[in-house]
Amino acid sequence: MERTRRTLLTALAAVVVGIGATALAWYRLGPVTRGTAWAEDGGLFLRERLALGVDGSLLHPYAGYLHLLPRLVVDLGVARPIEQYALTVSAASCAIAGAVCATVFLLSRDVVRAWPLRLVLAAVPVVLPLAPYEISGTAANLHWYMLVAVPWLFSYRARTWWGASVVAVLALVAVLTEVQTVLFLPLLLLAWFPRSAPRLRALPVTVVALGAGAAQAVVALTTHRSSVRGDPSVVDVVAGYLVQPVAATWDRDVAAVGRAVAAHGWWVVAVPVVVLVLLVLAAMVVGTWPARFLLVGLAGGSVAVWVAALVANSSADGRWGSLDDAHLATLGATRYAAAAGMLLLSAVVLTAAVLVEQQRTGGTGRVIGAAVAWCVVALVVAVSVLNVAPGPAQRSAGPVWAPQVTESIAACRAEPGRILVIRTAPWAAEVPCSLVLRDR
């Protein structure tokens, strides 16, 4: 009876976290942003859905890998009234981000026992300062959120076969959405080697992760990518990481960070990184083995995702190592910073949680470490609150989708075979009048 009660309370807490995170993500977009279709959402994904249908588009490769979740979201957008397409995609994308938060809250409880710290960890995807600029509320960027979910999906030690099955399904969706999730495959070892004997309940997620990862690898090796590969220098990688992902964890205004670097020097962003590295090392010393593996996965994954972006796309390399003061002062944000920033901020919160947990074992050093960790948590919360209001985004200037469709209803009735051109940010969508008139 007690176990059932705890299970119900845990499930209810996860639902509350998911709903709250979804609402926060939705609020942070602002009305114009969430009503505007973004890039592939109104472009390639919509175009291929209309041309290929559900079956033909769901696992159709694009840019060298599979995009299962964005395809499903676009399917939902097409199934609903087409004038609400942009709002549907934004809402569904926010809901998926909220589901990621709920997943982290549930699956991290073996490593982060204190629920307030677990709540902060789970909220990272929706409180990251830079998230609304491009990746939040867009189907095209949902794959970045999978990078936050898979470390916990892969490492979770399922208590029941039912739980193992749910985790396996979520892992399947995540890996078929983002190719870089394969970077976290070593974390599957945590599910196989608990303190007791290995558990076969790790088998479903392992089979799914390896199978879906292999599918992504095959697609990546056999599908042409139009992006030109980059050739960044080590200085560009390091400098870019400091002024983009690192800065994205505390300020959505990347240009302000650039101006601070120009005015005071690189120590402005270098010192916080040094402090963070020392804290992570301290947590590695005192933490449990699962916590250590996850810290390496999250922090190392942040760096790996950043480096991979610059190597795979020449357009992602801003040549940050050679920027003068004038260019530093006009820095623009990049979606790659948001992805790496989410993983980095997750590592920061997990580090603090590990240090706080060790306070229970006593010792002056551990008490001091816990005090520092609580300060880190307070800083993360404060930064989140300061950046919670809707701000500038790639879609914040529109054009809003719905008015364009409703204004074309009369034209569609006069010419049902017509194809509408609906402006999006930054491109345009081709919508057949048959969709406009479908529900009328």
Residue 241 is predicted with a pLDDT of 95
Q: At what angle do helices 115-127 and 142-155 cross, to 10 degrees?
A: 150
With a cut of 60, say whether residue 355 has pLDDT above it. Answer: yes
Residue 368 vs residue 377, higher pLDDT: 377
Backbone angles phi and psi of 134, in degrees to 5: -150, -40
Residue 371 is predicted with a pLDDT of 82
Q: What is the rounded distance in angstroms from the CA atom of residue 60 to the CA atom of residue 268?
A: 44
Q: What is the pLDDT of residues 195-221, one digit of tens each?
A: 665 678 999 999 999 999 999 999 999
With a cut of 90, say whether residue 360 has pLDDT above it. Answer: no
Q: What is the pLDDT of residues 252-301, one digit of tens each?
A: 888 899 999 999 999 999 998 999 999 999 999 989 999 999 999 999 99
What percent of the chain stands above pLDDT 70? 96
Residue 226 is predicted with a pLDDT of 79
Would you place residue 318 in the very low, low, confident or very high pLDDT band (cuts 50, 70, 90)? confident
With a cut of 90, say whether residue 315 has pLDDT above it. Answer: no
Would you place residue 193 in the very low, low, confident or very high pLDDT band (cuts 50, 70, 90)? confident
Region of poorest pLDDT, from 93-102, 188-197, 345-354: 188-197
On the question of a cis peptide bond just before residue 403, with omega within 30 degrees of 0, the verdict is no
Would you place residue 375 in the very low, low, confident or very high pLDDT band (cuts 50, 70, 90)? confident
Residue 1 is predicted with a pLDDT of 65
With a cut of 70, say whether residue 184 has pLDDT above it. Answer: yes
What percent of the chain stands above pLDDT 90? 75
Q: How far is CA 133 from CA 12, 16, 150, 393, in A?
A: 31, 25, 23, 4
Domain residue ranges in the chain:
2-386, 401-437
With a cut of 70, say whether residue 249 has pLDDT above it. Answer: yes
Residue 366 is predicted with a pLDDT of 66
On the question of a cis peptide bond just before residue 70, with omega within 30 degrees of 0, the verdict is no
Q: What is the rounded distance in angstroms from the CA atom of residue 143 to the CA atom of residue 70?
A: 8
Per the CB < 8 A criterion, the answer to whether 340 and 256 are in contact is: no
Region of poorest pLDDT, from 18-27, 128-137, 276-285, 370-379: 370-379
Residue 363 is predicted with a pLDDT of 60
The residue type at 130: L
With a cut of 70, say whether residue 143 has pLDDT above it. Answer: yes
With a cut of 60, say whether residue 392 has pLDDT above it. Answer: yes
H-assigned helices in 108-245 = 115-127, 131-134, 142-155, 161-175, 188-192, 203-222, 234-241
Q: What is the pLDDT of residues 322-340, one digit of tens each?
A: 888 888 888 888 889 999 9
Would you place residue 359 in the very low, low, confident or very high pLDDT band (cuts 50, 70, 90)? low
Q: What is the pLDDT of residues 76-127, one digit of tens each?
A: 999 999 999 999 999 999 999 999 999 999 999 999 999 999 999 999 999 9
Q: How far is CA 211 from CA 158, 172, 204, 214, 391, in A?
A: 20, 9, 11, 5, 40
